[in-house]
Structure 1
Amino acid sequence: MVLLNTDTQLLKTAYKLRFEYYNFYENKESQWHDKYKNHNLYEIVVESFDYKYSEIGVVMPKLLEKFCVL
């Protein structure tokens, strides 16, 4: 799969949202959900929580495709 520039930006944003959830909103998860519940990548990032950190590099692009974002 070849990613276009916009696809790369979407992927980076999805990783960023996931990173924020685990690193800045620990024990404040509901605040993260309130902040991002209307974000276009929200459902994708929430589904990514089902996967381990070590898997996310492979899984996130597949989730973006599954949700027809890529």
Structure 2
Amino acid sequence: MASQVDFTTFANVIDGKLEKSEKTRRPLNPSTLEENPPVPVSSEQDVDRAIAAAKKAYEAWNDKPWAERA
């Protein structure tokens, strides 16, 4: 029997960690016009931290041989 995924809690993932956001919004389901669960609204600081983490991860990834990247 297949299991279902429960999409009721959302967070940003920054540097491999779940991060709560100070602000959230509740988008509408376009087919029912019901509110969906709240989703994070990222701040400029969230984006800056995510970019810094991505650059750091890229440097480590780029140093690995091709065979280890897959």
- TM-score, normalised on structure 1? 0.24
Structure 1 or 2: more helix by fraction: 1
- Pick 1 or 2: higher relative contact order, CA cutoff 8 A, min separation 6: 1
- TM-score, normalised on structure 2? 0.24
Structure 1 or 2: more strand by fraction: 2
Q: Which has the larger radius of gyration?
A: 2
